[in-house]
Chain A
Amino acid sequence: MPFIPHTEDDVKTMLKAIGVNSTDDLFDEIPSNLRINDLNALDAGLNEMAMGRDMKERAARDGGLACFLGAGAYEHHIPAAVWQIASRGEFLTAYTPYQAEASQGTLQLLYEYQTMMANLMGLEVSNASLYDGASALAEAVLMAVRANTAAKEPRILIAGNLHPHYRQTIEALVRPQGILLETLPYNDKTGCLETQLPKIENGDIVAVAIAQPNFFGGIEEVDAITDWAHQHEALVIAVVNPIAMALLKEPGVWGQRGADIVCGEGQPLGIPLASGGPYFGFLCTKMDYVRQMPGRLIGRTVDQDGKPGFSLTLQAREQHIRRAKATSNICTNQGLAVTAATIYMSLLGASGLSDVAKASHANSKALCAALTAIPGIRLRFNSPYFHEFVIECPCTADALIQALLKKNVLAGLDLSVLSPKLDHCLLICVTETKTSDDIHTYVNEVQHALQHITTTVED
């Protein structure tokens, strides 16, 4: 029987020990009107060989594209050792480290993760992970509401150039608690937040959430926004790309006092694209707010012999202890993805990570320069950017995407669905994984496609 080790003799002996005649008798407390006898509408089982053929065929249908699409999930090189080690059974098949003495491996790894992540963000504390970047922002918003006791109303200002899926996620996750979400507008020419910040009174706003880089890839003037928020007693929530933080100013030193809560998508740190998950959300903060943090926290302590060791700490914030009064309902998080990210950060080191960021930046500059040299294509926003940029095409973005898909190139994201102002706009990402040949191919295919599209239109 698949994955069930019992022999017929075992079953007989066990039923006898229980004092029943059949396994069916073990379900005698279920009212008979609720019993079903089979799942016959489902297919019969397959063996590993048949399943292997089937899944390989499916995987082949989805793979093989050269990826120039980012928009919140980024293709980076993942060193071989990352998943070789993360997939060890002792990491893969353990659970939440409730029994600390039997979980020192996971606990120490998470402590090392907390150290690296807090350092990358320039803050004092990191938790041990949340589900993903978007839900991490929702938790950051709820955390800010608990932390900022000076605010009169639970009102949050959200950058208008935040990833639209992040905005939709926080709407779904925090609205039931009566939290008010308002938008901080962005400038149509730069794609960045307006430098003229709105007039607000002290205590009007709990927090301001800004993205660095923003959804269009643009780099924000974070110092000015941070200081403006702090002057009005609002907290600053930074939503950042962790790879970009190896190159751009870390949130802990934004403005005079630094961002208060930093969150984002951890996927770029060694996690494959994999149709959208599992990824992991990260969340960092200042020590002042640690008790308002959701999720697991690992602390270093000593055992009864004075030997250093690690355990879950400040558990009185969590649902299994505080129930209705917990900081969040989160229980299972994304431990394995964090295991991979910790190994990734250790292998790359600070200089390796910085090189990944610089190479991605240089490659995106190269593609952008080549594309905007094509007549009819222009750069949509004129701000500095990290590894994503928006071009305006002479045709619809979708026409270009479809044309390049035929050449096995995933060209980017069609932004026209977001706003009529972004008609004909394509969001493109280039990371360190792309060679100059890849960039050439992309440019050539765009030129061919445009010629074809123009000819078709003229016909």
Chain B
Amino acid sequence: MLIFEISAKGRRNHLQAPRHAPAANDIPAHLLRHKAPLFPEVSELQVVRHYTQLSRKNFSIDTQFYPLGSCTMKYNPRGVHQLASLEGFLQHHPLTPASHSQGYLQSAYELQQILSHITGLSAVSLTPMAGAQGEFAGVAMIRAYHLSRGDTARTEFLVPDAAHGTNPATAVMCGFRIKEIPTDKHGDVDLDALRAAVGPHTAGIMLTNPSTLGVFERRIGEIAKIIHAAGGLLYYDGANLNAILGKCRPGDMGFDVMHINLHKTFATPHGGGGPGSGPVAANDRLKPFLPTPIVGYDGKQYRWLTTKDCPQSIGRLSAFMGNAGIILRANIYARLLGREGLCRVSEYATLNANYLMARLQQAGFTLAFPDRRASHEFIITFKKEAKTLGVSAKDIAKRLLDYGVHAPTTYFPLLVPECFLIEPTETESKEELDNFINILITILKEAQESPDLVKQAPHNLPVRRLDDLKAAKELDLTWQEK
């Protein structure tokens, strides 16, 4: 039932609206609205019940194991959410003078310092509103750097074939042509292909390390040398920062600029598809190009730095200062964990991933890279099962839902056929991992004994498999009144 279908003409919530709402007689009639929009007319209880019931049709971290690879679905601490929602923070207008914004500015400044230390890069701007906008900021900064030197020939960006889709899409938004670099059979970047690809047109490369294949790029030092020698710069996609927190730093690997996904590594809630936050960190070479505003501190007062202070900045990426509430949450999370807790994050995330990987291999599942250590995530492939049993990775993913587990990332990276990218995160217990292993073993058995049970899954959810073709062909994007 849609909210519109429980609506009844004339039903109103008078308590929610202002008491005194005189007609706007001074505005010329031809500038006024004449037809009310189609909104539901429902009581407060109906609204509360409708959306509470809808929420119960969702899988979420709070209700289920959610090993979605590359998304770092770790526990989002309740205390963090509560403190970031204090009235003083919620009431605070973004353009309030700095004299009355010191609480927020201090929190943002501290986070800049923390991120700078964790990444090994000298300066941070918190303004990008999600990972993809952080990528945009970084690549636009590299573009601005080359142009500031009068180097206009650098029109190409290198992107490994294993990269997130946002990487090539971002480089195109920044006006670059894409050159794709293949991956070798161990999951590392193909260095010969890389050497052949670089040249005077190379603006830079976008890399994730550990890569989306769940392995650490061991020859990163050499890659950095090749790119820098060709006059290009290195962009680090921070999607997998959870794997290396306190173990190594992108700045030391030779990266010039990177983004950090606060909604992954810093445990801010994913909100059903955002908000995220994608701060960007840069070394001394790219620091002048960071997007504004940035928080500055003169030893007494915190204040916003704008393009007046940073004349070479790539500029502003949002109306105000990015997803401020997410920045606040990341600050609280980082300071709750402190230096020891932050180092433990990568240790236990990696322990959980390698444990799952080892146990699944022992149980007969096929690993994509059996000779490699898992980072905080790893890949299994159902290529064999698809061929012999006719059961695909998608079928197994849907069957997992029946058992009350969110499916891992499926069919990504594109290089590995019929794959699952599994990321358990550090906040899951051994019992939860063992349960997941047992479920997968059960499903594999089902696939052998009664493959249709798996192929027809899910059976226990609010809906069964949806007709995506119909959704795209007979577009129904809004409800129409009959």
Q: How far is the CA of A28 from the CA of B373 in the complex (A)?
A: 8
Binds B, one of A193-201, A228-236, A334-342, A441-449: A334-342
- Kindly state whether residue B56 has any CB partner on chain A within 8 Å: yes
Output the least CB separation between B21 and chain A (Å). 4
What sequence of 0s and 1s flags, for each residue 161-178 of chain B, a beta carbon within 8 Å of any chain A beta carbon?
A: 000111011111111001
> Which of B81, B129, B348 has the most CB atoms of chain A within a 10 A radius of its CB?
B129
A sample of 10 cross-chain residue pairs with beta-carbon separation below 8 angstroms, ordered by A number, consists of A10-B429, A14-B352, A34-B220, A79-B44, A92-B272, A101-B458, A120-B37, A223-B30, A275-B320, A276-B94
Q: Taking A46-B335, A301-B468, A346-B42 as contacts, is the C-beta distance between A172 and B291 under 8 angstroms? A: yes
- Kindly state whether residue A395 has any CB partner on chain B within 8 Å: no
B residues less than 8 Å from A106 (CB atoms): 54, 58, 272-273
B339 and A39 form a contact (CB under 8 A)? yes
A residues less than 8 Å from B79 (CB atoms): 48, 51-52
A62 and B88 form a contact (CB under 8 A)? yes
Q: How far is the CA of A354 from the CA of B476 in the complex (A)?
A: 27
A105 and B54 form a contact (CB under 8 A)? yes
Q: How far is the CA of A95 from the CA of B60 in the complex (A)?
A: 7
A299 and B341 form a contact (CB under 8 A)? no
Output the least CB separation between A166 and chain B (Å). 6
- Kindly state whether residue B316 has any CB partner on chain A within 8 Å: yes
What sequence of 0s and 1s flags, for each residue 103-147 of chain B, a beta carbon within 8 Å of any chain A beta carbon?
A: 110110000001001100000000001111101100010010000
- Kindly state whether residue A189 has any CB partner on chain B within 8 Å: no
A-B contact count (CB 8 A): 686
- Kindly state whether residue A131 has any CB partner on chain B within 8 Å: yes
- Kindly state whether residue A90 has any CB partner on chain B within 8 Å: yes
Q: How far is the CA of A337 from the CA of B325 in the complex (A)?
A: 11
A249 and B465 form a contact (CB under 8 A)? no
Output the least CB separation between B192 and chain A (Å). 20
- Kindly state whether residue B196 has any CB partner on chain A within 8 Å: no
A residues less than 8 Å from B326 (CB atoms): 277-278
B residues less than 8 Å from A57 (CB atoms): 103
CB within 8 Å of A: which B319-356 residues: 319-326, 328, 332, 334-344, 347-348, 350-352, 354-355
Q: How far is the CA of A63 from the CA of B87 in the complex (A)?
A: 7
Q: How far is the CA of A321 from the CA of B319 in the complex (A)?
A: 29
CB within 8 Å of B: which A1-49 residues: 1-6, 10-11, 13-15, 17-20, 23, 26-31, 33-36, 38-48
What sequence of 0s and 1s flags, for each residue 333-368 of chain A, a beta carbon within 8 Å of any chain B beta carbon?
A: 111110100110111111111111011011001000
- Kindly state whether residue B47 has any CB partner on chain A within 8 Å: yes
B136 and A173 form a contact (CB under 8 A)? yes
- Kindly state whether residue A227 has any CB partner on chain B within 8 Å: no
B residues less than 8 Å from A14 (CB atoms): 351-352, 355, 430
Of A13, A42, A337, which one neighbours B338 at CB under 8 angstroms?
A42
Interface size (B, Cβ < 8 Å)?
198
By beta carbon, the residue of chain B nearest A212 is: B31
B318 and A131 form a contact (CB under 8 A)? yes
Q: Taking A102-B58, A171-B315 as contacts, is the C-beta distance between A311 and B36 under 8 angstroms? A: no
Q: How far is the CA of A75 from the CA of B89 in the complex (A)?
A: 13
- Kindly state whether residue B445 has any CB partner on chain A within 8 Å: no
B residues less than 8 Å from A354 (CB atoms): 21, 33, 36
A residues less than 8 Å from B246 (CB atoms): 36, 38-39
B103 and A58 form a contact (CB under 8 A)? yes
Instruction: Please name the 3 residue pairs, one residue from A and one from B, whose CB atoms are nearest each other, closest first.
Output: A45-B338, A63-B88, A89-B62
B106 and A58 form a contact (CB under 8 A)? yes
Q: How far is the CA of A410 from the CA of B351 in the complex (A)?
A: 51
Q: How far is the CA of A172 from the CA of B346 in the complex (A)?
A: 35
B467 and A302 form a contact (CB under 8 A)? yes
B478 and A118 form a contact (CB under 8 A)? yes
- Kindly state whether residue A297 has any CB partner on chain B within 8 Å: yes
CB within 8 Å of A: which B287-311 residues: 291, 307
Output the least CB separation between B15 and chain A (Å). 8
By beta carbon, the residue of chain A nearest B16 is: A79
CB within 8 Å of A: which B159-206 residues: 164-166, 168-175, 178
Of A18, A75, A356, which one neighbours B355 at CB under 8 angstroms?
A18
- Kindly state whether residue A180 has any CB partner on chain B within 8 Å: no
- Kindly state whether residue A453 has any CB partner on chain B within 8 Å: no
Interface size (A, Cβ < 8 Å)?
198
Of B143, B324, B466, which one neighbours A275 at CB under 8 angstroms?
B324
Q: Taking A62-B96, A320-B165 as contacts, is the C-beta distance between A328 and B89 under 8 angstroms? A: no
Binds B, one of A66-74, A202-210, A371-379: A66-74
A335 and B274 form a contact (CB under 8 A)? yes
- Kindly state whether residue B232 has any CB partner on chain A within 8 Å: no
A355 and B18 form a contact (CB under 8 A)? yes
A36 and B247 form a contact (CB under 8 A)? yes
B479 and A277 form a contact (CB under 8 A)? no
B478 and A124 form a contact (CB under 8 A)? yes
A90 and B100 form a contact (CB under 8 A)? no
CB within 8 Å of B: which A98-149 residues: 98-106, 108-109, 111-112, 114-116, 118-120, 122, 124-126, 128-129, 131-135, 142
- Kindly state whether residue A150 has any CB partner on chain B within 8 Å: no
Of A247, A297, A335, A349, which one neighbours B477 at CB under 8 angstroms?
A297
Binds A, one of B66-74, B379-387, B446-454: B66-74
What sequence of 0s and 1s flags, for each residue 167-195 of chain A, a beta carbon within 8 Å of any chain B beta carbon?
A: 01101110011100000000000000000
What sequence of 0s and 1s flags, for each residue 200-239 of chain B, a beta carbon within 8 Å of any chain A beta carbon?
A: 0000000000000001101011000000000000000000
Q: Taking A55-B83, A90-B56 as contacts, is the C-beta distance between A331 and B132 under 8 angstroms? A: yes
A351 and B175 form a contact (CB under 8 A)? no
A residues less than 8 Å from B276 (CB atoms): 332
B21 and A358 form a contact (CB under 8 A)? yes
- Kindly state whether residue B101 has any CB partner on chain A within 8 Å: yes
A residues less than 8 Å from B428 (CB atoms): 5
Q: How far is the CA of A270 from the CA of B83 in the complex (A)?
A: 20
- Kindly state whether residue A432 has any CB partner on chain B within 8 Å: yes
- Kindly state whether residue A273 has any CB partner on chain B within 8 Å: yes
- Kindly state whether residue A160 has any CB partner on chain B within 8 Å: no
CB within 8 Å of A: which B76-98 residues: 76-77, 79, 81, 83-97
B27 and A219 form a contact (CB under 8 A)? yes
- Kindly state whether residue B317 has any CB partner on chain A within 8 Å: yes
Of A105, A248, A432, which one neighbours B32 at CB under 8 angstroms?
A248
A96 and B273 form a contact (CB under 8 A)? yes
What sequence of 0s and 1s flags, for each residue 310-336 of chain A, a beta carbon within 8 Å of any chain B beta carbon?
A: 110110001111111110111111111
B12 and A166 form a contact (CB under 8 A)? no
Output the least CB separation between A375 and chain B (Å). 24
A274 and B338 form a contact (CB under 8 A)? no
Output the least CB separation between A23 and chain B (Å). 5
